[in-house]
Amino acid sequence: MDTTLRGVGVSHGVAIGEVRHMGTAVLEPPAKQIPAEDAEREQGNARKAVEAVAADLMARGNLAGGEAQAVLEAQAMMAQDPELMADVDRRIAVGSTAERAVYDAFAAYRELLAGAGEYLAGRVADLDDVRNRIVARLLGVPMPGIPDSDEPYVLVARDLAPADTALLDPTLVLGFVTEEGGPTSHSAILARALGVPAVVALPGAGELAEGTVVAVDGSTGEIFVNPSDEKKAELEAAAAQRKAALAASTGPGVTADGHKVPLLANVGGPADVPAALEAGAEGVGLFRTEFLFLDDSKNAPSEEKQVEAYRQVLEAFPEGRVVVRVLDAGADKPLDFLTPADEPNPALGVRGLRTLLDHPEVLRTQLTALAKAAEGLPVYLDVMAPMVADRADAKAFADACRAAGLRAKFGAMVEIPSAALRARSILQEVEFLSLGTNDLAQYTFAADRQVGAVSRLQDPWQPALLDLVALSAEAAKAEGKSCGVCGEAASDPLLACVLTGLGVTSLSMGAASIPYVRATLAKYTLAQCERAAAAARTGDSADEARAAAQAVLSGE
Ligand code: PEP
Ligand code: MG
Protein backbone atom coordinates (compact mmCIF):
# COMPACT_ATOMS: atom_id res chain seq x y z
CA MET A 1 0.00 0.00 0.00
CA ASP A 2 1.28 3.46 -0.86
CA THR A 3 0.44 5.91 1.97
CA THR A 4 1.58 9.52 2.23
CA LEU A 5 2.20 11.20 5.56
CA ARG A 6 3.06 14.85 5.98
CA GLY A 7 5.31 16.50 8.53
CA VAL A 8 7.50 19.54 8.28
CA GLY A 9 10.46 19.24 5.89
CA VAL A 10 13.48 20.79 7.57
CA SER A 11 16.46 19.55 5.59
CA HIS A 12 16.42 19.11 1.83
CA GLY A 13 16.91 15.95 -0.19
CA VAL A 14 15.24 12.59 -0.70
CA ALA A 15 16.04 9.47 1.32
CA ILE A 16 14.60 6.04 0.52
CA GLY A 17 15.24 3.19 2.92
CA GLU A 18 14.00 0.96 5.72
CA VAL A 19 12.80 2.40 9.00
CA ARG A 20 14.97 1.84 12.06
CA HIS A 21 13.74 3.21 15.35
CA MET A 22 15.90 4.99 17.80
CA GLY A 23 16.50 3.10 21.09
CA THR A 24 14.32 5.33 23.21
CA ALA A 25 13.27 2.82 25.85
CA VAL A 26 13.45 4.49 29.23
CA LEU A 27 15.40 2.12 31.41
CA GLU A 28 13.62 2.04 34.74
CA PRO A 29 15.82 0.20 37.22
CA PRO A 30 14.02 -1.80 39.94
CA ALA A 31 13.65 -0.01 43.29
CA LYS A 32 15.55 -2.44 45.51
CA GLN A 33 17.28 -1.65 48.81
CA ILE A 34 21.01 -2.08 49.33
CA PRO A 35 22.73 -2.74 52.68
CA ALA A 36 24.28 0.32 54.32
CA GLU A 37 27.82 -1.04 53.93
CA ASP A 38 27.43 -1.04 50.12
CA ALA A 39 26.54 2.65 49.95
CA GLU A 40 30.05 3.96 49.53
CA ARG A 41 30.83 1.54 46.70
CA GLU A 42 27.56 2.42 44.94
CA GLN A 43 28.29 6.13 45.29
CA GLY A 44 31.68 5.49 43.67
CA ASN A 45 29.99 3.57 40.84
CA ALA A 46 27.54 6.41 40.26
CA ARG A 47 30.34 8.96 40.11
CA LYS A 48 32.37 6.83 37.71
CA ALA A 49 29.37 6.36 35.42
CA VAL A 50 28.63 10.09 35.41
CA GLU A 51 32.24 10.91 34.63
CA ALA A 52 32.38 8.33 31.85
CA VAL A 53 29.17 9.65 30.27
CA ALA A 54 30.38 13.25 30.51
CA ALA A 55 33.71 12.26 28.94
CA ASP A 56 31.88 10.40 26.16
CA LEU A 57 29.69 13.45 25.44
CA MET A 58 32.76 15.69 25.35
CA ALA A 59 34.50 13.27 22.98
CA ARG A 60 31.44 13.20 20.71
CA GLY A 61 31.47 16.99 20.80
CA ASN A 62 35.13 17.10 19.79
CA LEU A 63 34.43 14.78 16.89
CA ALA A 64 31.41 16.73 15.75
CA GLY A 65 32.81 20.28 16.22
CA GLY A 66 30.85 23.49 15.59
CA GLU A 67 27.47 24.16 17.12
CA ALA A 68 27.03 20.46 17.92
CA GLN A 69 30.11 20.55 20.12
CA ALA A 70 28.76 23.36 22.24
CA VAL A 71 25.43 21.58 22.70
CA LEU A 72 27.13 18.32 23.71
CA GLU A 73 29.45 20.08 26.10
CA ALA A 74 26.44 21.71 27.73
CA GLN A 75 24.96 18.21 28.15
CA ALA A 76 28.19 16.95 29.70
CA MET A 77 27.96 19.76 32.22
CA MET A 78 24.36 18.86 32.94
CA ALA A 79 25.52 15.31 33.79
CA GLN A 80 28.02 16.67 36.29
CA ASP A 81 25.73 19.19 37.94
CA PRO A 82 26.92 19.21 41.60
CA GLU A 83 23.39 19.47 43.01
CA LEU A 84 22.23 16.50 41.01
CA MET A 85 25.25 14.49 42.15
CA ALA A 86 24.61 15.46 45.76
CA ASP A 87 21.02 14.23 45.39
CA VAL A 88 22.26 10.93 43.93
CA ASP A 89 24.64 10.50 46.89
CA ARG A 90 21.84 11.23 49.36
CA ARG A 91 19.54 8.69 47.77
CA ILE A 92 22.23 5.99 47.83
CA ALA A 93 23.00 6.78 51.47
CA VAL A 94 19.39 5.87 52.37
CA GLY A 95 19.47 2.55 50.50
CA SER A 96 19.02 3.16 46.75
CA THR A 97 21.11 1.38 44.16
CA ALA A 98 23.28 3.72 42.08
CA GLU A 99 21.10 3.27 38.98
CA ARG A 100 17.85 3.85 40.85
CA ALA A 101 19.30 6.89 42.62
CA VAL A 102 20.35 8.39 39.29
CA TYR A 103 16.95 7.61 37.81
CA ASP A 104 15.05 9.23 40.69
CA ALA A 105 17.35 12.23 41.08
CA PHE A 106 17.01 13.04 37.38
CA ALA A 107 13.24 12.57 37.60
CA ALA A 108 13.07 15.15 40.40
CA TYR A 109 15.24 17.56 38.43
CA ARG A 110 13.17 16.94 35.30
CA GLU A 111 9.99 17.85 37.10
CA LEU A 112 11.58 21.05 38.30
CA LEU A 113 12.65 21.95 34.77
CA ALA A 114 9.39 20.99 33.12
CA GLY A 115 7.42 23.03 35.65
CA ALA A 116 9.64 26.05 35.17
CA GLY A 117 8.26 27.05 31.78
CA GLU A 118 8.56 26.91 28.07
CA TYR A 119 12.25 27.23 27.28
CA LEU A 120 12.93 23.98 29.06
CA ALA A 121 11.10 21.72 26.60
CA GLY A 122 14.30 21.21 24.63
CA ARG A 123 16.42 20.88 27.77
CA VAL A 124 14.17 18.15 29.18
CA ALA A 125 14.93 15.96 26.13
CA ASP A 126 18.65 16.60 26.67
CA LEU A 127 18.33 15.75 30.36
CA ASP A 128 16.48 12.47 29.64
CA ASP A 129 19.21 11.54 27.22
CA VAL A 130 21.92 12.14 29.81
CA ARG A 131 19.99 10.09 32.39
CA ASN A 132 19.48 7.19 29.97
CA ARG A 133 23.16 7.13 29.19
CA ILE A 134 24.20 7.02 32.85
CA VAL A 135 21.61 4.39 33.79
CA ALA A 136 22.55 2.22 30.78
CA ARG A 137 26.21 2.38 31.79
CA LEU A 138 25.40 1.41 35.39
CA LEU A 139 23.22 -1.50 34.24
CA GLY A 140 25.83 -2.61 31.71
CA VAL A 141 23.35 -2.54 28.81
CA PRO A 142 23.84 -0.94 25.38
CA MET A 143 23.51 2.81 25.24
CA PRO A 144 20.20 4.10 24.03
CA GLY A 145 20.47 5.95 20.79
CA ILE A 146 21.15 5.36 17.14
CA PRO A 147 20.57 1.72 16.13
CA ASP A 148 23.50 -0.53 15.27
CA SER A 149 23.22 -1.32 11.60
CA ASP A 150 25.66 -1.91 8.75
CA GLU A 151 22.97 -1.20 6.19
CA PRO A 152 21.83 2.35 5.46
CA TYR A 153 18.45 3.18 6.98
CA VAL A 154 15.94 5.95 7.72
CA LEU A 155 16.09 6.85 11.39
CA VAL A 156 12.73 7.38 13.12
CA ALA A 157 12.58 8.88 16.60
CA ARG A 158 10.24 10.75 18.91
CA ASP A 159 12.83 13.48 19.10
CA LEU A 160 16.55 13.49 18.56
CA ALA A 161 18.91 14.54 21.31
CA PRO A 162 21.85 16.67 20.18
CA ALA A 163 24.20 13.84 21.22
CA ASP A 164 22.62 11.68 18.54
CA THR A 165 22.21 14.14 15.69
CA ALA A 166 25.81 15.20 16.17
CA LEU A 167 27.07 11.72 15.43
CA LEU A 168 24.64 10.67 12.70
CA ASP A 169 26.78 9.00 10.08
CA PRO A 170 25.44 10.38 6.78
CA THR A 171 26.66 7.25 4.95
CA LEU A 172 24.43 5.03 7.13
CA VAL A 173 21.61 7.36 8.13
CA LEU A 174 19.89 8.20 4.87
CA GLY A 175 17.47 10.59 6.49
CA PHE A 176 15.48 11.08 9.64
CA VAL A 177 11.94 11.57 10.76
CA THR A 178 10.79 12.77 14.19
CA GLU A 179 7.42 13.14 15.88
CA GLU A 180 8.45 16.22 17.84
CA GLY A 181 10.51 19.32 17.07
CA GLY A 182 9.67 22.34 14.97
CA PRO A 183 11.43 23.77 11.93
CA THR A 184 13.56 25.99 14.15
CA SER A 185 14.35 23.50 16.92
CA HIS A 186 18.02 22.81 17.33
CA SER A 187 17.63 19.23 15.97
CA ALA A 188 16.44 20.78 12.70
CA ILE A 189 19.30 23.26 12.65
CA LEU A 190 21.80 20.47 13.24
CA ALA A 191 20.21 18.26 10.55
CA ARG A 192 20.69 21.01 8.02
CA ALA A 193 24.27 21.49 9.18
CA LEU A 194 24.84 17.77 8.49
CA GLY A 195 23.08 17.83 5.15
CA VAL A 196 20.83 14.85 6.05
CA PRO A 197 17.25 15.00 4.65
CA ALA A 198 14.89 15.39 7.60
CA VAL A 199 11.19 15.74 8.40
CA VAL A 200 10.03 16.75 11.89
CA ALA A 201 6.67 17.18 13.66
CA LEU A 202 5.19 14.06 12.05
CA PRO A 203 2.46 12.79 14.39
CA GLY A 204 2.46 8.98 14.55
CA ALA A 205 6.02 8.60 13.25
CA GLY A 206 6.65 6.21 16.14
CA GLU A 207 4.03 3.83 14.73
CA LEU A 208 5.91 3.21 11.49
CA ALA A 209 6.88 -0.47 11.74
CA GLU A 210 10.58 -1.33 11.94
CA GLY A 211 11.83 -2.36 8.51
CA THR A 212 9.05 -0.61 6.54
CA VAL A 213 10.37 1.07 3.41
CA VAL A 214 9.76 4.80 3.36
CA ALA A 215 10.73 7.63 1.06
CA VAL A 216 11.44 10.87 2.93
CA ASP A 217 11.25 14.13 1.03
CA GLY A 218 12.97 16.68 3.25
CA SER A 219 11.95 19.53 0.96
CA THR A 220 8.18 18.96 1.00
CA GLY A 221 7.88 17.20 4.36
CA GLU A 222 6.24 14.18 2.72
CA ILE A 223 6.85 10.60 3.80
CA PHE A 224 5.76 7.91 1.34
CA VAL A 225 5.18 4.62 3.11
CA ASN A 226 5.86 1.54 0.97
CA PRO A 227 6.30 3.69 -2.13
CA SER A 228 5.59 2.05 -5.47
CA ASP A 229 8.48 1.54 -7.90
CA GLU A 230 7.12 4.42 -10.00
CA LYS A 231 7.04 6.73 -6.99
CA LYS A 232 10.59 5.79 -6.04
CA ALA A 233 11.77 6.37 -9.60
CA GLU A 234 9.97 9.72 -9.74
CA LEU A 235 11.50 10.90 -6.45
CA GLU A 236 14.95 9.65 -7.38
CA ALA A 237 14.77 11.39 -10.76
CA ALA A 238 13.71 14.64 -9.09
CA ALA A 239 16.54 14.31 -6.56
CA ALA A 240 19.09 13.58 -9.32
CA GLN A 241 17.87 16.59 -11.25
CA ARG A 242 18.20 18.76 -8.18
CA LYS A 243 21.72 17.41 -7.52
CA ALA A 244 22.81 18.19 -11.09
CA ALA A 245 21.41 21.71 -10.82
CA LEU A 246 23.26 22.14 -7.54
CA ALA A 247 26.56 20.96 -8.96
CA ALA A 248 26.16 23.51 -11.74
CA SER A 249 25.43 26.31 -9.31
CA THR A 250 28.49 28.23 -8.16
CA GLY A 251 29.42 31.84 -7.53
CA PRO A 252 27.62 34.62 -5.72
CA GLY A 253 23.89 34.73 -5.14
CA VAL A 254 22.10 36.45 -7.97
CA THR A 255 18.69 36.37 -9.64
CA ALA A 256 18.29 35.46 -13.32
CA ASP A 257 18.42 39.15 -14.24
CA GLY A 258 21.52 39.95 -12.23
CA HIS A 259 20.06 41.33 -8.98
CA LYS A 260 22.65 40.45 -6.33
CA VAL A 261 21.56 38.74 -3.11
CA PRO A 262 24.68 37.78 -1.13
CA LEU A 263 24.42 34.26 0.27
CA LEU A 264 26.03 34.04 3.68
CA ALA A 265 26.54 31.26 6.20
CA ASN A 266 25.33 30.86 9.76
CA VAL A 267 28.18 29.61 11.95
CA GLY A 268 28.65 28.78 15.60
CA GLY A 269 32.44 29.07 15.60
CA PRO A 270 35.62 28.33 13.65
CA ALA A 271 34.69 24.64 13.23
CA ASP A 272 31.80 25.59 10.93
CA VAL A 273 33.97 27.65 8.60
CA PRO A 274 35.22 24.88 6.25
CA ALA A 275 31.67 23.83 5.32
CA ALA A 276 30.75 27.48 4.72
CA LEU A 277 33.71 27.96 2.39
CA GLU A 278 32.99 24.71 0.58
CA ALA A 279 29.40 25.79 -0.04
CA GLY A 280 30.69 29.05 -1.53
CA ALA A 281 29.36 31.32 1.23
CA GLU A 282 30.16 34.94 0.43
CA GLY A 283 30.68 35.64 4.10
CA VAL A 284 28.99 35.00 7.43
CA GLY A 285 25.55 36.45 8.05
CA LEU A 286 25.20 35.15 11.59
CA PHE A 287 28.02 34.15 13.91
CA ARG A 288 26.21 32.78 16.96
CA THR A 289 28.82 33.69 19.56
CA GLU A 290 26.90 32.21 22.48
CA PHE A 291 28.34 28.80 21.62
CA LEU A 292 31.70 30.08 22.90
CA PHE A 293 30.02 30.83 26.22
CA LEU A 294 28.38 27.44 26.72
CA ASP A 295 31.70 25.78 27.64
CA ASP A 296 31.54 27.11 31.14
CA SER A 297 28.20 28.10 32.60
CA LYS A 298 29.88 29.93 35.52
CA ASN A 299 32.16 32.39 33.71
CA ALA A 300 32.41 34.26 30.44
CA PRO A 301 35.32 33.17 28.21
CA SER A 302 38.40 35.37 28.61
CA GLU A 303 39.03 38.22 26.19
CA GLU A 304 42.02 36.30 24.74
CA LYS A 305 39.95 33.18 24.10
CA GLN A 306 37.31 35.28 22.37
CA VAL A 307 39.87 37.17 20.24
CA GLU A 308 41.28 33.83 19.06
CA ALA A 309 37.89 32.39 18.04
CA TYR A 310 36.69 35.59 16.34
CA ARG A 311 39.95 36.00 14.48
CA GLN A 312 39.78 32.48 13.05
CA VAL A 313 36.37 33.21 11.57
CA LEU A 314 37.26 36.71 10.36
CA GLU A 315 40.45 35.49 8.66
CA ALA A 316 38.51 32.91 6.67
CA PHE A 317 36.65 35.61 4.72
CA PRO A 318 39.20 38.16 3.57
CA GLU A 319 37.31 41.04 2.00
CA GLY A 320 34.06 39.24 2.81
CA ARG A 321 31.35 40.33 5.20
CA VAL A 322 31.16 38.74 8.64
CA VAL A 323 28.21 39.58 10.85
CA VAL A 324 28.90 38.76 14.46
CA ARG A 325 25.99 38.60 16.84
CA VAL A 326 26.84 39.49 20.40
CA LEU A 327 25.92 37.00 23.08
CA ASP A 328 22.30 35.83 22.92
CA ALA A 329 21.86 34.25 26.35
CA GLY A 330 18.62 33.34 28.08
CA ALA A 331 15.43 31.45 27.20
CA ASP A 332 16.53 28.36 25.22
CA LYS A 333 20.20 29.26 25.79
CA PRO A 334 20.45 29.99 29.53
CA LEU A 335 23.81 30.72 31.17
CA ASP A 336 24.01 30.26 34.94
CA PHE A 337 26.05 33.37 35.57
CA LEU A 338 23.82 35.65 33.52
CA THR A 339 20.31 34.26 33.25
CA PRO A 340 17.92 34.83 36.15
CA ALA A 341 16.89 31.41 37.49
CA ASP A 342 13.42 32.36 38.66
CA GLU A 343 11.72 33.85 35.63
CA PRO A 344 8.20 32.53 35.13
CA ASN A 345 8.51 33.00 31.37
CA PRO A 346 12.14 33.05 30.26
CA ALA A 347 11.43 33.67 26.55
CA LEU A 348 9.70 36.88 27.61
CA GLY A 349 12.21 37.74 30.30
CA VAL A 350 15.76 39.01 30.46
CA ARG A 351 17.42 37.50 27.40
CA GLY A 352 19.52 38.59 24.43
CA LEU A 353 20.45 42.27 24.50
CA ARG A 354 18.52 42.74 27.75
CA THR A 355 20.97 40.40 29.49
CA LEU A 356 23.95 42.30 28.08
CA LEU A 357 22.61 45.68 29.14
CA ASP A 358 22.26 44.26 32.66
CA HIS A 359 25.87 42.99 32.47
CA PRO A 360 27.73 45.74 30.58
CA GLU A 361 31.11 44.23 31.46
CA VAL A 362 30.29 41.09 29.46
CA LEU A 363 29.26 43.16 26.43
CA ARG A 364 32.34 45.39 26.80
CA THR A 365 34.72 42.41 26.85
CA GLN A 366 33.05 40.90 23.81
CA LEU A 367 33.16 44.13 21.80
CA THR A 368 36.78 44.80 22.79
CA ALA A 369 37.71 41.24 21.76
CA LEU A 370 36.00 41.78 18.41
CA ALA A 371 37.81 45.07 17.85
CA LYS A 372 41.16 43.34 18.56
CA ALA A 373 40.31 40.33 16.41
CA ALA A 374 39.50 42.52 13.39
CA GLU A 375 42.63 44.67 13.71
CA GLY A 376 44.61 44.71 10.48
CA LEU A 377 42.22 42.38 8.63
CA PRO A 378 40.56 43.46 5.38
CA VAL A 379 37.25 41.85 6.44
CA TYR A 380 34.02 43.89 6.62
CA LEU A 381 33.01 43.39 10.22
CA ASP A 382 29.38 43.93 11.16
CA VAL A 383 28.20 43.51 14.74
CA MET A 384 24.58 43.07 15.71
CA ALA A 385 22.49 42.71 18.82
CA PRO A 386 19.84 40.03 19.37
CA MET A 387 16.36 40.82 20.69
CA VAL A 388 16.27 44.55 20.04
CA ALA A 389 12.79 45.80 21.00
CA ASP A 390 12.93 49.52 20.28
CA ARG A 391 15.08 52.56 19.49
CA ALA A 392 16.36 52.83 23.07
CA ASP A 393 17.72 49.27 22.83
CA ALA A 394 19.34 50.03 19.48
CA LYS A 395 20.91 53.22 20.86
CA ALA A 396 22.24 51.48 23.97
CA PHE A 397 23.89 48.87 21.77
CA ALA A 398 25.35 51.38 19.31
CA ASP A 399 26.69 53.46 22.24
CA ALA A 400 28.38 50.39 23.71
CA CYS A 401 29.97 49.59 20.31
CA ARG A 402 31.27 53.14 19.96
CA ALA A 403 32.57 53.18 23.53
CA ALA A 404 34.54 50.00 22.82
CA GLY A 405 36.20 51.72 19.84
CA LEU A 406 34.78 49.16 17.44
CA ARG A 407 35.31 49.99 13.79
CA ALA A 408 32.38 48.09 12.34
CA LYS A 409 28.82 48.57 11.22
CA PHE A 410 26.35 48.17 14.07
CA GLY A 411 23.06 46.46 13.43
CA ALA A 412 19.90 45.22 15.11
CA MET A 413 18.22 41.88 14.78
CA VAL A 414 14.53 42.01 14.12
CA GLU A 415 13.18 39.20 16.28
CA ILE A 416 10.44 41.00 18.18
CA PRO A 417 7.37 42.26 16.27
CA SER A 418 7.81 45.75 17.79
CA ALA A 419 11.17 46.04 16.02
CA ALA A 420 9.58 45.29 12.64
CA LEU A 421 6.69 47.66 13.27
CA ARG A 422 9.06 50.50 14.23
CA ALA A 423 12.02 49.55 12.02
CA ARG A 424 12.57 53.11 10.75
CA SER A 425 12.92 54.40 14.28
CA ILE A 426 15.47 51.67 15.10
CA LEU A 427 17.37 52.50 11.91
CA GLN A 428 18.03 56.00 13.27
CA GLU A 429 20.54 54.32 15.59
CA VAL A 430 22.00 51.44 13.57
CA GLU A 431 23.17 50.79 10.04
CA PHE A 432 21.52 47.51 9.17
CA LEU A 433 18.78 45.10 10.14
CA SER A 434 18.90 41.32 10.20
CA LEU A 435 15.66 39.40 10.51
CA GLY A 436 15.80 36.51 12.97
CA THR A 437 12.72 34.82 11.62
CA ASN A 438 12.90 31.96 14.13
CA ASP A 439 12.26 34.18 17.10
CA LEU A 440 10.18 36.62 15.08
CA ALA A 441 7.75 33.77 14.32
CA GLN A 442 7.86 32.60 17.94
CA TYR A 443 6.90 36.04 19.23
CA THR A 444 4.45 36.93 16.46
CA PHE A 445 2.41 33.77 16.92
CA ALA A 446 3.06 33.20 20.64
CA ALA A 447 4.31 29.76 19.65
CA ASP A 448 7.32 28.24 21.41
CA ARG A 449 9.87 27.27 18.78
CA GLN A 450 10.81 24.10 20.69
CA VAL A 451 7.30 22.64 20.72
CA GLY A 452 6.28 20.34 17.86
CA ALA A 453 2.58 20.77 18.60
CA VAL A 454 2.68 24.43 17.53
CA SER A 455 4.96 24.01 14.50
CA ARG A 456 2.10 25.12 12.22
CA LEU A 457 2.56 28.58 13.70
CA GLN A 458 6.32 28.41 13.39
CA ASP A 459 6.05 27.99 9.63
CA PRO A 460 7.96 30.92 8.13
CA TRP A 461 5.50 31.03 5.23
CA GLN A 462 2.86 32.45 7.59
CA PRO A 463 1.59 35.59 5.84
CA ALA A 464 1.76 37.63 9.06
CA LEU A 465 5.48 36.88 9.26
CA LEU A 466 5.91 37.84 5.60
CA ASP A 467 4.16 41.15 6.35
CA LEU A 468 6.66 41.88 9.13
CA VAL A 469 9.57 41.00 6.82
CA ALA A 470 8.14 43.37 4.20
CA LEU A 471 7.77 46.18 6.76
CA SER A 472 11.38 45.81 7.86
CA ALA A 473 12.77 45.61 4.31
CA GLU A 474 10.73 48.64 3.20
CA ALA A 475 11.96 50.65 6.19
CA ALA A 476 15.57 49.76 5.43
CA LYS A 477 15.14 50.72 1.79
CA ALA A 478 13.63 54.06 2.76
CA GLU A 479 16.63 54.72 5.02
CA GLY A 480 19.11 53.55 2.37
CA LYS A 481 20.27 50.69 4.62
CA SER A 482 20.38 46.91 4.31
CA CYS A 483 18.04 44.28 5.72
CA GLY A 484 19.09 40.62 5.61
CA VAL A 485 17.46 37.44 6.85
CA CYS A 486 19.49 35.08 9.07
CA GLY A 487 16.68 32.93 10.48
CA GLU A 488 15.89 29.50 9.08
CA ALA A 489 13.41 31.04 6.60
CA ALA A 490 16.39 31.91 4.39
CA SER A 491 17.24 28.23 3.88
CA ASP A 492 13.98 27.40 2.06
CA PRO A 493 14.82 27.97 -1.64
CA LEU A 494 11.34 29.02 -2.68
CA LEU A 495 10.90 31.25 0.35
CA ALA A 496 14.34 32.75 -0.34
CA CYS A 497 12.93 34.00 -3.67
CA VAL A 498 9.90 35.42 -1.88
CA LEU A 499 12.11 37.14 0.72
CA THR A 500 14.13 38.64 -2.12
CA GLY A 501 10.89 39.84 -3.66
CA LEU A 502 9.94 41.44 -0.35
CA GLY A 503 13.12 43.51 -0.51
CA VAL A 504 15.51 41.54 1.67
CA THR A 505 19.11 42.32 0.70
CA SER A 506 21.04 39.21 1.85
CA LEU A 507 20.26 35.67 2.98
CA SER A 508 22.15 33.76 5.63
CA MET A 509 21.68 30.08 6.38
CA GLY A 510 23.33 26.80 7.39
CA ALA A 511 26.05 26.07 4.82
CA ALA A 512 24.34 22.94 3.46
CA SER A 513 21.38 24.99 2.21
CA ILE A 514 23.41 27.54 0.25
CA PRO A 515 23.67 25.57 -3.03
CA TYR A 516 19.90 24.91 -3.05
CA VAL A 517 19.06 28.55 -2.49
CA ARG A 518 21.64 29.73 -5.02
CA ALA A 519 20.30 27.37 -7.73
CA THR A 520 16.68 28.38 -7.18
CA LEU A 521 17.35 32.11 -7.01
CA ALA A 522 19.25 31.96 -10.29
CA LYS A 523 16.10 30.66 -12.05
CA TYR A 524 13.94 33.73 -11.47
CA THR A 525 14.12 37.45 -12.15
CA LEU A 526 13.66 40.03 -9.43
CA ALA A 527 10.29 40.95 -10.95
CA GLN A 528 9.16 37.31 -10.70
CA CYS A 529 10.33 37.20 -7.08
CA GLU A 530 8.36 40.38 -6.38
CA ARG A 531 5.23 38.93 -7.97
CA ALA A 532 5.64 35.72 -5.98
CA ALA A 533 6.05 37.77 -2.79
CA ALA A 534 2.91 39.79 -3.48
CA ALA A 535 0.98 36.59 -4.25
CA ALA A 536 2.20 34.91 -1.06
CA ARG A 537 0.98 37.83 1.03
CA THR A 538 -2.56 37.41 -0.33
CA GLY A 539 -2.75 33.98 1.36
CA ASP A 540 -4.57 33.41 4.63
CA SER A 541 -2.32 30.58 5.73
CA ALA A 542 1.23 29.36 5.29
CA ASP A 543 0.03 26.69 2.84
CA GLU A 544 -1.88 29.22 0.76
CA ALA A 545 1.11 31.57 0.73
CA ARG A 546 3.43 28.77 -0.39
CA ALA A 547 1.00 27.60 -3.08
CA ALA A 548 0.48 31.13 -4.38
CA ALA A 549 4.22 31.78 -4.67
CA GLN A 550 4.77 28.40 -6.27
CA ALA A 551 2.02 29.10 -8.82
CA VAL A 552 3.62 32.41 -9.81
CA LEU A 553 7.11 30.98 -10.09
CA SER A 554 6.08 27.90 -12.04
CA GLY A 555 4.10 30.11 -14.42
CA GLU A 556 0.69 28.58 -13.63
C1 PEP B 1 16.43 33.73 14.92
O2 PEP B 1 15.82 33.84 15.98
O3 PEP B 1 15.88 33.67 13.80
C4 PEP B 1 17.90 33.64 14.92
C5 PEP B 1 18.58 33.68 13.82
O6 PEP B 1 18.52 33.49 16.14
P7 PEP B 1 18.54 32.09 16.95
O8 PEP B 1 17.99 31.01 16.06
O9 PEP B 1 19.98 31.85 17.31
O10 PEP B 1 17.69 32.43 18.12
MG1 MG C 1 16.90 34.42 17.77
Of 322 and 118, the structure prediction assigns the larger pLDDT to: 322
Asked if residue 458 has its Cβ within 6 Å of ligand 1, the reply is no
pLDDT tops 80 at residue 556:
no
Which of these is catalytic: 12, 359, 483, 486?
486
Mean pLDDT of 64-91: 84
pLDDT at res. 320: 92
Q: Which atom of ligand 1 is nearest to the CA of 438?
A: 3
Query: How many angstroms is it from 414 CA to the middle of ligand 1?
Result: 10
Considering only CA atoms, which residue is closest to atom 1 of ligand 1?
436
pLDDT tens across 304-355, in order? Answer: 999 999 999 999 999 899 999 999 998 877 888 898 888 889 999 999 999 9
Can you give the pLDDT at residue 81?
87
Is the Cβ atom of 330 under 6 angstroms away from ligand 1? Answer: no
Q: Is 21 a catalytic residue?
A: no
Average pLDDT, the chain: 89
Ligand 2 centroid–CA 475 distance in Å is 21
CA 45–ligand 2 middle distance (angstroms): 41
Does residue 265 or residue 107 have the better pLDDT?
265
Question: Is the alpha carbon torsion for 457, 470, 422, 435 positive or negative?
Answer: positive
| Fold: same for 3-23+145-228 and 249-554 | no
Tell me the pLDDT tens digit for each residue of 355-401.
999 999 999 999 999 999 999 999 899 999 999 999 999 999 999 99
Give the whole-angstrom CA distance, residue 216 versus residue 500.
28
Residue 214's DSSP bridge partners are: 17, 225
**pLDDT (tens digit, 9 = 90+) per residue, 153-188?**
999 988 776 666 666 777 888 998 988 877 777 667
- Candidates 459, 468, 467, 464; CA nearest to 494 is 459
Ligand minimally distant from the alpha carbon of residue 489: 1
Distance in Å, CA 436 to ligand 1 centroid: 5
Q: Which of 175-179, 194-198, 251-255 has the lowest mean pLDDT?
A: 194-198
Q: What is the CATH number assigned to the segment(s) 249-554? A: 3.20.20.60
Select from 260, 269, 345 the least CA-distant residue to 314: 269
The structure's pTM equals 0.68
Residue nearest to atom 9 of ligand 1 (CA): 288
36-139 carries CATH number 3.30.830.10: no
pLDDT given for residue 369 in this prediction = 97
> Looking at the predicted structure, is the pLDDT value of residue 540 above 60?
yes
Task: Encode pLDDT of 487-509 as tens digits.
Answer: 999 999 999 999 999 999 999 99
Quick check: 354 and 387 in contact, CB under 8 A? yes
Using the 8-state DSSP alphabet, how is residue 254 labeled? B
Distance 129 CA to ligand 2 centre (A): 25
C-alpha neighbours within 13 Å on the C-beta side of residue 290: 23
Architecture of domain 3-23+145-228: 3-Layer(bba) Sandwich (3.50)
User: Residue 306: which region, alpha, beta or left (left: phi > 0; alpha: psi -120 to 50)?
Assistant: alpha
For residue 32, with 0-12 CB atoms within 10 Å meaning exposed, 13-18 middle and 19 or more buried, which class applies?
A: exposed
Per-residue confidence (pLDDT) for residue 278, from 0 to 100? 86
Please name which ligand lies nearest the alpha carbon of 388.
2
Q: Ligand 1 pocket, 486 CB below 6 A?
A: yes
The 3-state DSSP class for residue 546 equals helix
Best residue among 119, 328, 499 to mutate for probing ligand 1, ranked by most atoms within 8 Å of CB: 328
**Minimum CA distance residue for ligand 1 atom 6:** 436
CA distance 449 to 459: 10
Q: Where are the chain's structural domains?
A: 3-23+145-228, 36-139, 249-554
Which residue among 186, 359, 401, 529 is the active-site one? 186
Radius of gyration of the chain (CA): 24
Active site residue 483: no
